[in-house]
Amino acid sequence: MSTIRVAVLMGGTSSEREVSLKSGRNVVAALAGGRFTVIPLDFTGDLAPILALKGHADVVFPALHGPGGEDGRIQSVLDLLGIPYVGSGPLSSAMAMHKGVTKILYREAGIPTPAGVTLSRRDGAPDWLETNVDDLLKTIGVPCVVKPANEGSSYGVSIVKTAEELAAALARAATLDRDIIIEQFISGVEISVPVLGDAAPLPAVEIIPKSGTYDYASKYTPGATEEICPARISPAAAAAAAAYAARAHAVLGCRDVSRTDMIVSGDAVTVLETNTLPGMTDTSLLPLSARAAGLSFAALVETLVRAALARATAAPGA
């Protein structure tokens, strides 16, 4: 009996390339052992190797993060090729990737999210950032959070504590994206809640960065952050967080897996953003939450692969 051929896409061309390579290598290792034929593929922007997968891969596991891998573009190519893949489709991926669009959908679905605005280079003159500083200080105020709309892993994120810091934070984000999110800073316990399958929330992970900020280095430097699962929050907050994660997964149209980041203050939960291809590195939150739910890393990966295969054999549009 032939084994299932799984192509694992990793690397990519975004700022999260190195993280993606770590995720991909872990997925490859988890699939090894005879049940699957694994095809590791370091994606460098050339579509030819992906096009060549047609007829040679039964399913693709995109272990890609950031623009070009998590925003629907690769998913569109795989759809055109007719190759099943793990994770959300093109539209869901694109909506979740753009944090401004995500916030609009959250609000329409009754999901609490920080007050914020989106600035776009499309809307302004060459001095589009400078002309908005005063208005932002009036409408959002400080402290606030400034981040590129389409980056992940906290790349380019600034926590602005004083009015004098705002212009520099905007300029930094503008080097990475033409759309910038500026939102109210919410103080509290940072947690993340994965959802597996259609809408099954896994245990919340509490995030405690030793630096005080859960930035890129804190996420991917071993020992830089303490993660506790289940999170030490009240039963009411845990229930609300699980419900909001499931609702975010549904309103964005996510498939197979997502991970939604939140801030908890007492029993109040505020939702920040949703990730459609959560990290699979040694320090990533999804594998930790899955283990707390009794699911090993290998079982998690296999569950995702088999979900993609099952969807491919279901009715059209499933």
Q: How confident is the model at residue 315, as a pLDDT?
A: 52
In the chain, the N- to C-terminal Cα span, in Å, equals 27
Candidates 160, 221, 152, 150; CA nearest to 181 is 150
Rounded to 5 degrees, what are φ and ψ at 208? Answer: -130, 90
Place of tokens 């280079």: 121
Domain at 4-89: CATH code: 3.40.50.20
Pairing between β-strand 257-265 and β-strand 59-62 as defined by DSSP bridges:
unpaired
Compute how many other C-beta atoms are within 10 angstroms of the C-beta atom of residue 280.
26
Give the whole-angstrom CA distance, residue 39 versus residue 37. Answer: 7
Residue 275 is a catalytic residue:
yes
Catalytic-labelled residue, pool 11, 218, 259, 302: 259
C-alpha distances in angstroms, 303 versus 31, 45, 290, 296?
11, 28, 11, 10
Contacts by 208-213, CB closer than 8 A, 24 or more apart: 213/159
Residue 247 is a catalytic residue:
no
Catalytic-labelled residue, pool 273, 284, 289, 302: 273
The tens place of each residue's pLDDT in the chain, 318 residues long, gives: 479 999 999 999 988 899 999 999 999 999 998 789 999 999 999 999 999 999 999 999 999 998 889 999 999 999 999 999 999 999 999 999 999 999 999 999 999 999 998 888 765 555 556 667 888 888 899 999 999 988 765 677 899 999 999 989 988 888 888 889 999 999 999 999 999 997 789 999 999 987 666 555 555 566 668 999 999 999 999 999 999 999 999 999 999 999 999 999 999 999 999 999 999 998 899 999 999 999 999 999 999 999 999 998 875 655
Chain-centre distance of CA 226, in angstroms? 20
| Residue 184, token pair as written in the block | 């109210």
For the whole prediction, is pTM greater than 0.85?
Answer: yes
Residue 5 is a catalytic residue:
no
Domain residue spans in the chain? 4-89, 116-184, 187-299
Domain at 187-299: CATH code: 3.30.470.20
Give the whole-angstrom CA distance, residue 193 versus residue 144. Answer: 23
Residue 153 is a catalytic residue:
yes
C-alpha distances in angstroms, 189 versus 134, 208, 212, 219?
30, 8, 11, 16
Residue 259 is a catalytic residue:
yes
24 within 8 A of 63, measured Cβ to Cβ: yes
31 within 8 A of 296, measured Cβ to Cβ: no
Residue 70 is a catalytic residue:
no
The fold adopted by the segment(s) 116-184 is Dna Ligase; domain 1 (3.30.1490)
Residue 273 is a catalytic residue:
yes
Catalytic-labelled residue, pool 85, 106, 220, 244: 220
